[in-house]
Amino acid sequence: RTQPLVLGIESSCDETGVGIVRGTELLTNTVSSSMEEHVRFGGVIPEIASRAHLDAFVPTLQEALAEANVQLADIDAIAVTSGPGLAGALMVGVCAAKALAVATGKPLYAINHLVAHVGVGLLQQGTGTATSVSTPPAGSPPETLPDNMGALLVSGGHTEILRIRSITDDVELLGSTIDDAAGEAYDKVARLLGLGYPGGPAIDKLARTGNAKAIRFPRGLTQSKYMGTAEEPGPHRYDWSFSGLKTAVARCVEQFEARGETVPVADIAAAFQEAVVDVITSKAVLACRENGITEVLLGGGVAANSRLRQLTEQRCSAAGIRLTVPPLSLCTDNGAMVAALGAQLVMAGVEPSGIGFAPDSSMP
């Protein structure tokens, strides 16, 4: 059967993304980011992000159509992130998608951003002019996802382990952060250490020169009252918490300062990173093992982290779990992942959403 040509729109945070796929084939992934406008504030300012989406949307759409060499009239369906994310930012993408759907008469699909992060696992790099995609995925992605697949999503807004039985209608949240997302913890700790924003890449780099064993920071929610056992799971067996870790880093810095000593910034960065990555990977692998998951996809902006990649690979391999890490341009927020999930919905015969839906910033 013919593969649907789907346009995907992403605007949940600071990336304006327009992607085009044909079934599981990636034609283009065009992204414009307002990151630089947020740097001086040390974090994403929702109002600025929303305005930037409005400025960037039409040029990004035009670039995507040109790169994929398709006309709007050729598109079979439109897919848009409708949540979770920043309300105002989501609204820009959703309004744009509705306008396009009305103007072209094409069906519109409202997409869950987190499930879309998993959809990229299905994408083949196109033979077209998809210049924005840097590295091709390792190995050939499958035509369909395995029946019981895991996804570990780690970004500035999310830290989650999902079980996917069917990407179109059976996605279960196994565990998540109960406070800060891991990327958010990186950003906050980087600010504390005077490393600027975004903090993740800065800490990743500095940590390479530090001693991760110099200080031991707490691993949140790993005590037995939270973990329980496999037979009798505790309330947070697969969940994470990073706010206590951030406080521990702050106390640590204060102690060095109070003693009039130089703050060992590289050691603190390395030890902080080790605490984050250790607890993320150990709990994710535990969740996979206890739920019969033998294939897992790593996604989200923190998937760029060298230590997270390394330890996830090591621990998955030790547990006999196959790990897929999409190219970074598909791990961070983008429109291609939204288009990929949209195409799966079209191919599964799922009814379009219509144009009556509202964005849902706290979509489960």
Q: Considering beta carbons, is residue 274 or 333 the nearer one to ligand KG4? A: 333
| Cβ closest to ligand KG4, residue 77 vs residue 311 | 311
Question: Closest approach of Cβ 175 to ligand KG4, in Å?
Answer: 18
Which residue's CB is nearer to ligand KG4, number 22 or number 188? Answer: 188
Report the C-alpha gap between 123 and 18 in whole angstroms: 15
CA distance 307 to 212: 11
Which residues would be at the binding site for ligand KG4 (CB under 6 A)?
A: 13, 155-157, 183-184, 186-187, 198-201, 204, 300-302, 304-305, 332-333
CA distances to 120, 122, 341 from 16, rounded to whole Å, are 17, 22, 17
3-state secondary structure of 241: coil
Q: Minimal distance in Å, beta carbon 143 to ligand KG4?
A: 26
154, 280 in Cβ contact below 8 A? yes
Nearest distance from residue 200's CB to ligand KG4, in Å? 2
Q: Which is nearest to 207 in space by CA: 144, 248, 247, 249? A: 249
Q: Choose among 252, 269, 181, 192: nearest CA to 220.
A: 181
Question: Which of these, 293, 335, 274, 355, lies nearest to 98 by C-alpha position?
Answer: 355
Query: Looking at beta carbons only, is 24 or 305 nearer to ligand KG4?
Result: 305
C-beta of 227 vs 297, nearer to ligand KG4: 297
Least separation, in Å, of the C-beta of 72 and ligand KG4? 27
Q: What H or E segment, with its residue span, contains residue 80?
A: strand 77-83
Tell the smallest beta-carbon distance from residue 53 to ligand KG4 (Å): 14
Please identify, using beta-carbon distances, which residue of 157 and 335 lies nearer to ligand KG4. 157
CA–chain centroid gap for 77, Å, is 24
CB of 89 to ligand KG4, least distance (A): 10
